[in-house]
Amino acid sequence: MTHSSRQRRLTTAALTVLALVGGATACSSGSGSTDSNGAGSGTYTVWDPYPQFDKASDWKKLLDRCGTEAGVKIKRTAFDTSDLANKTLLAAQQGNSPDVLIVDNPVVSTLAEAGVLTTTDDNKLDTSAVDPNLLAAGQSGGKTYGTPIGANTLALYYNKDVLKKAGVDIASVKDWSSLTAALAKVKKSGEKGITFSAIGTEEGSFQFLPWFWGSGARLTALDSPQAESALSLWKGWLDDGYAPNSVLDNTQTTSWQEFAAGDYAFAENGTWQLANADKAGFPYGVLPVPAADGGNASAPTGGEFVTIPVQDDTGRYTTSQKLVTCLTSGDNSYATDTTLSYVAPTGAVQDKQVAANAELKPWVDAVKAAKGRTSDDLGTKYPKISEQLWKAVQSALSGSRSPKDALAAAQSAAR
């Protein structure tokens, strides 16, 4: 590839990254320096999206320990998620990529299609122990680019006091009809039903996807009858007063704040709210989002992939592979994922997490049913599809279009 053609591809990819990043999952804000590669003898660079972890953190100590085991020094730079993606594209243009890159999973296919990342065939990473549904988020064109460090996803938090007052047995909530029946009882008892985020951004699509996928719909057919049933479910909840009109503007943070006030029976939110849930002041539980006819719906995965960017000096891949293997080993994965409130990407470590904290069991179940937003080989097609999906949700919930018409317009635009 010539420099000019590479630059054109990266410029296109940059636009895709800007559409993808920015709040679909909880992440900390911060900034990092734009250090150059600095890859001299014995120095390997690592870029990550964890600016909340300073030099004294367990994460930084793990990086240094993995470097020592590989016989090299680690030069680490932390960025916030959106800044990291853009810095990565710029570094690739300049031939100055880090040796190891930890990046939000929806961005992996974009970077891969732009020629920024090596495949696991190239770098010899062993991903055989990783749950296939989680690994799929880092696959494009039949190839795998990196390995997940952990995953988070969405589920339903519920307020036990509100449900008790309404006479709802949570064990009865197994599908959409039983969930809606529970919401009707809650409203009749004088309490509030369910809150979520339907904002007109990627965050809104992220929250709608469990219901979309739980209906049996596919992102390649936004106007299917199954998709219409999912959007009609949400619209019906608003019309019947089971969900507030504020969902149209809610982020995942503001919808959580509504739930934390103690009046709502249910809230759709993620693993990153566990610490806040413990502080809410009322007993709560967690239920995987039910599919239309029962079972667990596929919710979208959040979390990062550990990848190895393309280098002019391909001899560096061997050491980079050792670093990634160390960072994602069973013992290290358990410690890191606990710190990040992630579910581990392998069954063995998931079992260890549940053994240590039984409250993680519904989250492990939700992650096992989850899927990547760019899975099904959507890759860089996903941002355009997602934009039309959140527009359809906004249009239908606001009443400007019927669910059927909103989704038909979305499919036409996405096509």
Q: Do domains 3-152+302-369 and 154-299+379-414 have the same CATH topology?
A: yes
pLDDT tier at 25 (50, 70, 90 boundaries)?
Answer: very low
| pLDDT, mean of residues 300-326 | 96
Residue range 154-299+379-414, CATH number: 3.40.190.10
pLDDT tier at 379 (50, 70, 90 boundaries)?
Answer: confident
For the record, the structure tokens of 79 come out as: 């960025």
In contact, 127 and 351? CB cutoff 8 Å: no
Topology of domain 3-152+302-369, CATH: D-Maltodextrin-Binding Protein; domain 2 (3.40.190)
Digit-coded pLDDT (tens) for 208-239:
999 999 999 999 999 999 999 999 999 999 99
HEC letters along 376-396: CCCHHHHHHHHHHHHHHHHHH
Digit-coded pLDDT (tens) for 248-299:
999 999 999 999 999 999 999 999 899 899 999 999 999 999 999 999 999 9
Digit-coded pLDDT (tens) for 80-121:
877 898 899 999 999 999 999 999 998 999 899 999 999 999
User: Would you state the pLDDT for residue 8?
Assistant: 39
Asked if residue 5 has pLDDT above 70, the reply is no
What is the value of pTM for the model shown?
0.84
- Measure the CA–CA gap between 202 and 58, rounded to whole angstroms: 31
Digit-coded pLDDT (tens) for 245-261:
999 999 999 999 999 99
User: Would you state the pLDDT for residue 12?
Assistant: 52
* Domains of the chain by residue range: 3-152+302-369, 154-299+379-414
| pLDDT, mean of residues 347-367 | 94
Q: Which residue from 373, 199, 386 is spatially nearest to 300, judged by alpha carbons?
A: 373
Least confident of 162-166, 167-171, 294-298, 336-340: 336-340
